[in-house]
Amino acid sequence: MTAKRTYKVSRYNLDGDQFEGFLGPLGAEILETVWDSEGEPMTVRKVYEELRKKTKIAYTTVMSTMDRLYDKGLLDRRVERGKGGVFFVYWSRLGKKHFEESAVRTVVSSLFRNFGSTVTNALIEEVATNEGDLQALQKQIERIASEKKK
């Protein structure tokens, strides 16, 4: 169900943990819940009940947030008939890993576009604090360089 597609980040919040930066705390939590369901389509009520286990939340809040995630193209939905009537079921359009890559790439490329070398320096400095990461970066640069030569 996870088609190969990119996610266009519209804003990034520096204070958010993990996906919260991209989606806000509730959006991130909902998406995590949908990912945890391992491909099984979720109704708003199921997500609501999962979230209720952790925190006090209103059904309509979950509903409107899932509606927004659908508008953003992160969730997909269809009308399904089942126990309790006719209702929407949702599933995620991007896998967790795929979403992470796609979102981070969009932010980084936006930074590069605007600040170029500053970003490169900042990245290298960030990475340089850890010896292992530095070596990995070195290897990656060599690999990319050799690929370009070919």
The answer to the question of residue 130 lying near other proteins (CB under 8 A) is: no
Pairwise CA distance, residues 25 & 33, whole Å: 12
The answer to the question of residue 132 lying near other proteins (CB under 8 A) is: no
* Count of residues engaged in binding other proteins, rule: CB under 8 A: 19
Rule CB under 8 A: choose which of 15, 54, 84, 147 binds other proteins: 84
Number of residues that make up the chain: 150
Q: Please identify, using beta-carbon distances, which residue of 85 and 132 lies nearer to other proteins.
A: 85
The answer to the question of residue 45 lying near other proteins (CB under 8 A) is: yes
Q: Please identify, using beta-carbon distances, which residue of 79 and 144 lies nearer to other proteins.
A: 79
Rule CB under 8 A: choose which of 14, 17, 53, 86 binds other proteins: 86
Which range of residues in 77-85, 101-109, 112-120, 136-144 is near other proteins by CB under 8 A? 77-85
Rule CB under 8 A: choose which of 87, 96, 101, 137 binds other proteins: 87
Which range of residues in 21-29, 51-59, 115-123, 133-141 is near other proteins by CB under 8 A? 51-59
Secondary structure (H, E, C), the chain: CCCCCCCCCCCCCCCCCCCHHHHHHHHHHHHHHHHHCCCCCECHHHHHHHHHCCCCCCHHHHHHHHHHHHHCCCEEEEEEEECCEEEEEEEECCCHHHHHHHHHHHHHHHHHHHHCHHHHHHHHHHHHCCHHHHHHHHHHHHHHHHHHHC
